[in-house]
A and B are shown apart, each in its own frame.
Chain A
Amino acid sequence: MTDESLSLVDDAIEHEVINDRRSWLKESLAPLLTFATLVALWEFAADYFGIPAWLLPSPSTIAVAFVEWRGELWNHSLTTLYETIVGFALSIGLAVPLAVAVVYSPFLRKCIYPILLALQSVPKVAIAPLLALWIGFGALPKIIVVFLVCFFPIIVATATGLASVPGPVMDLIRSLSANQLQTFIKIRFPTAMPHIFVGLKIAITFAVIGAVIGEFVGSESGLGYLILVSSSQARTPVAFAALAILTIMSIVLYYIVEFIERLAVPWAANN
């Protein structure tokens, strides 16, 4: 290849890189712009039609509430975040080992799976008041709701993943007379990892909802409590601010799990 044609190739590559950057900009700009437009429309409508703040606060009113109530919002956010993370972690800590047990023991699977399915089918909103009745108003009943909400997706994903070792890989490992522990550590668990993260990503989006459900039923703190109290006192802008924090919390937690996934299972994230 001549120098000239090489430089042409270089140009082409450079173009591609620039185009890539442009399309990335476009992709991240498009949703932001849509969001900004909607907010602007909302602001304008609230102002134009004179909608009272207690009914539907305008974005600017919500922003003001954000600043005025920042201390309260922060404290309640911490409570909800704590309940969410502890419940989620508890769920991982119990669901993953149980999934391992279920995969290795068909008997256990037959015992546990129907109960799990039944438990999953019970609306968590209905369980929450009972938990409040039994355990009280502390953080524990909320943690349990979060735990219950997360448990099913994690255990199902983990069990599926552990059982998804391809036949030829099993042949390979059997031809080496690998023992159960080696098979688990070197083959089964890494094979299951991408599946486990699918379960975790589904679970984390439910987790925040679980915490709020718990707080709605009976509590003295948390964003769910704040929403309940401020809307009953017609302080709707505060409720909206809390709602915005909940949304952001959920999204951020999801991306944190996805980030950990990229570190933990880079071979799957590439595909």
Chain B
Amino acid sequence: MPASVRQPKEPFDASPRMSGTVNAAMEKITLQGIHKAYLTSSGRTVALQDVNLKVANDEFVALVGPSGCGKSTLLRIISALIRPSRGTASINNAPVLSPSRDVGIVFQQAVLLPWRSVLDNVLLPAEILGLDIKKARERAYQLLEMVHLTGFEARRPNELSGGMQQRAAICRALIHSPSVLLMDEPFAALDAMTREELGFELLRIWTIEKKTIIFVTHNIPEAILLADRVVAMSPRPGRISEIVKIDLPRPRTLDMQFTQKFKGYSDRVRAVIDQGQEKQHKKRGDE
């Protein structure tokens, strides 16, 4: 793709859709010119192309897009699990070169260790990071109480339902009090009811413990219902198509889904993503 067809506009602070600009001091996460390419058997695959994004302190940003748009790859770059081919990801204005202590991660699977009790699973990061275990245990009890898992501390993960496991995983991500929470399709493996429930639970946690959250999902309503801004991404090459600011009041409620405004956002995001995919189909047709 020639350089001229890159993002038509800077998708961050210059965007007119955003009310005011994110001021440099408030910036928590900055992505600058991120490229990621893989060498596969079928040649070079561009997973991410020129991704620029600024996330403000305590902001809730959702990354939405179809599979292959590189949203999970982007999250892995921010968490320093993989390195970008070009560009830099920064947290607290410092480029991430190795996994940051200031980050908690929630994966699609709860990834609880089957031989550890729920409490000990939550304490795992504290052990590895060498925190004061006594204090960490107190915090673990508080966190488990916050997600309504009191009484399940001594249980093994396989005794818990999928939703409860994911709640424990959220506690684990929060145990060392990171200011950034990265969530990679955290509720995708759950049924629709549990998914909604956990979404609101997450918002409740977010109001108790202010965090900067990047939430990856392929579910558009979920993204709109939870986030301050929805970053719509398109596949092949993975890129940001548009950033939609969600101007719904907080606390968010389930009824908001039926408002005209919500529908407007939903249509907008869907249109952007579809457009991106159409372009791709057309491009394929031309070849």
Contacts and interface: CB of A to CB of B under 8 A. Distances in A.
A186 B158 contact: no
Contact of B128 (A176, A190, A193, A267): A176
A166 B108 CA distance: 13
A187 B112 CA distance: 11
Contacts of A7: none
Contacts of A174: 81, 99
Contacts of A175: 79-81, 99, 103, 105
A98 B99 CA distance: 31
B81 A171 contact: yes
A169 B158 contact: no
A182 B128 CA distance: 7
Contacts of B81: 171, 174-175
B107 A267 contact: no
A172 B158 contact: no
A266 to B, nearest CB: 8
A183 to B, nearest CB: 9
Contacts of B278: none
Contacts of A31: none
A95 to B, nearest CB: 22
Interface of A, helix, strand, loop or mixed by DSSP: helix
Contacts of B105: 171-172, 175
B127 A186 contact: yes
Interface in B96-115: 98-99, 101, 103, 105, 107-109, 111, 113-115
Interface string B250-282: 000000000000000000000000000000000
Interface residues of B, number: 23
B199 interface: no
Contacts of B76: 171
A178 B76 CA distance: 17
B128 A169 contact: no
B111 A172 contact: yes
B124 interface: yes
A175 B101 CA distance: 8
A177 interface: yes
Contacts of B124: 176, 186
Nearest to B79: A175
Contacts of B103: 175
A178 B114 contact: no
A168 interface: yes
From B76, B101, B107, name the one whose CB has the most chain A CB atoms within 10 angstroms: B107
A186 B109 contact: no
Contacts of B114: 267-268
Contacts of A176: 99, 124-125, 128-129
A271 interface: yes
A254 B129 CA distance: 41
A191 to B, nearest CB: 8
A173 interface: yes
A67 interface: no
Interface string A172-203: 11111110001000110010010000000000
Contacts of A268: 114
A186 B124 CA distance: 9
Given A171-B81, A173-B128, A175-B79, A190 B113 contact: yes
Contacts of A193: 115
Interface in B104-160: 105, 107-109, 111, 113-115, 124-125, 127-129, 156, 158
A168 B109 contact: yes
From A166, A176, A190, name the one whose CB has the most chain B CB atoms within 10 angstroms: A176
Nearest to B111: A168
From A175, A265, A271, name the one whose CB has the most chain B CB atoms within 10 angstroms: A175
A174 B79 CA distance: 10
B102 to A, nearest CB: 12
A98 B129 CA distance: 29
Given A176-B125, A176-B129, A271 B109 contact: no
Interface of B: 76, 79-81, 98-99, 101, 103, 105, 107-109, 111, 113-115, 124-125, 127-129, 156, 158
Given A169-B113, A172-B111, A182-B127, 14 more contacts: A166-B111, A172-B105, A175-B99, A175-B103, A177-B99, A177-B128, A178-B128, A186-B113, A186-B124, A187-B113, A265-B115, A267-B115, A267-B156, A270-B156
12 contacts: A166-B111, A169-B113, A172-B107, A175-B79, A176-B128, A177-B98, A186-B113, A190-B113, A265-B115, A267-B115, A267-B158, A271-B158
